[in-house]
A = this chain, B = another copy of it.
Amino acid sequence: MQPHTQARRVTIVDVAAHAQVSTTTVSKVLRHAYGTSAATREKVQRSIAELGYRPSAGARGMRGRTYTIGVMLPDIRNPFFPDILDGLTEALHDTDYQVLLGPGGCNDEPAEARVTEAMVDRGMDGMILVAPVSARPRLEQIARTVPTVVVGPHGNSAVYDTVSDDDTHGAALVVDHLVGLGHRRIAHIEHAETDPTRLADMPNAIRARGYRRAMRAHGLGDEITIASTTYTQEGGLLGARQLLAGPRRPTAVFAGADVVALGVLEALDEAGLSVPGDISVAGYDNTTIAALRPISLTSVDQAGRQIGAEAARLLLSRIADPERASTHVKLSPTLITRRTTAPPPAV
């Protein structure tokens, strides 16, 4: 047998002939549609198995669905996303749907547009956009074309559903925890948002807002100190240096993301300060890295699996009924306390 003498693929016509029924009947069996007797169904199933038939998604898509759900992930490296994916895959496991991932360029709007368009072109029955950077009109445009769920806080759009974590609450969890330990000078490192249209929606902004609100709630409005950099390790390093150089050194730093916290740890190491002896540090996202023993970072866990499961549920329901009112689910994060937070030094 020659390597590339690929035999013609088995089609629905072959199955119909083999089972001695019409292609319509086979199609109905495939789609679990009404109008087939149990006997016929079984006969067809047997033929399908015997011939090793697999329906062509492309052909199906021309008239009906492709049974494919497209998931746009902005950054494969962010360890938070695999959790979402797990929840998603698990929830879709017993359905006929298959998940395919589109690698969206990290924070790169044109790249994101490219990949979402490609998914639409490929006839996805539904799309899940994880933390998209595109602006709302673009998201709504997509959602008008194909059922869409946006993961992350992207406003209460009427055309797409959203699932997100309550980052205000997450930030409060951190502040509460630190205040409970006795801290007062709690600083925050945020990701500077330049685009005003995103200011309302992006997690970074929400976390910063949550920090401020929680500080005020504890009567610590005067202690609010924010270093504005980026959600990167470098950003954490620079932000921490900035905070350490300030007039009143904080006793605790709440970094808006775990990567940022890593940069903070580096800066403290550099300054000869011990953690949590001199300064406590907390992150956000509860990434795998935070859990590593040598790091052991106190962090906020976003319940990625739940987010994924919820997104899948919403998407399936919208595929079933595209006209239904949009729903916006908000989940609550939890605080994972580890070894980077402790009471402030006695002084």
Q: Does A313 contact B (CB under 8 A)?
A: no
> Which residues from 293 to 329 on chain A have a C-beta closer than 8 Å to any C-beta of chain B?
293-295, 322-323
The count of identical subunits is: 2
Residue of B nearest to A147 (CB): B4
| Interface contact A54-B117, CB-CB below 8 Å | yes
Measured CA separation A122–B292 after assembly (Å): 39
A207 to chain B, nearest CB (A): 22
Q: Is A159 touching B3 in the complex (CB atoms < 8 A)?
A: yes
Stretch from A99-107, A179-187, A241-249 at the B interface? A99-107
The verdict on A158 contacting chain B, using a C-beta distance below 8 Å, is yes
CB-based contact A293/B322 at 8 Å: no
How far apart are the CA atoms of A57 and B117 in the complex, in Å?
A: 11
The answer to whether A101 and B98 touch across the interface, beta carbons within 8 angstroms, is no
Please name the residue on chain B nearest to A120 by beta carbon: B54
A58 near B62 with CB under 8 A, answer yes
Q: Are B122 and A66 in contact (CB-based, < 8 A)?
A: yes
> How far is it, in angstroms, between the C-alpha of A79 and the C-alpha of B77 when the chains are bound?
7
B89 contacts A99, C-beta separation under 8 Å = no
Residue with the greatest number of chain B CB neighbours at <10 A, chosen from A102, A103, A289:
A103
Please state if A66 and B58 are interface contacts (CB–CB under 8 Å): yes
Q: Which residues of the other chain, B, contact A294 by a CB distance below 8 angstroms?
A: 262, 265-266, 269, 294-295
Cross-chain contact A68 with B6 (CB below 8 angstroms) = no
Are B58 and A123 interface neighbours, CB within 8 A? yes
Indicate if A118 sits at the interface (CB-CB under 8 A): yes
CB-CB contacts below 8 Å: A59-92 with B: 59, 61-62, 66, 68, 70, 76-77, 79, 81-82, 85, 89
Assembled-state Cα–Cα distance A55/B303 (Å):
38
Residues of chain B lying within 8 A (CB to CB) of residue A82: 76-77
Q: Is the CB of B122 within 8 A of A4?
A: no
In the assembly, what is the distance between CA of A295 and CA of B68, in Å? 41
Q: Which residues of B contact A216 (CB under 8 A)?
A: none
With contacts A89-B103, A269-B293, A293-B266 taken as known, whether A58 is within 8 angstroms of B322 at the C-beta atoms is no
User: Which 4 pairs from chain A and chain B are nearest by CB?
Assistant: A101-B101, A58-B58, A58-B61, A98-B118
Q: A59-B62, A100-B101, A289-B292 are in contact. List 16 more A-B contacts (CB 8 A).
A: A3-B143, A3-B144, A4-B144, A4-B159, A56-B121, A57-B58, A76-B85, A77-B288, A100-B100, A101-B101, A101-B102, A101-B103, A262-B292, A262-B294, A269-B294, A294-B295
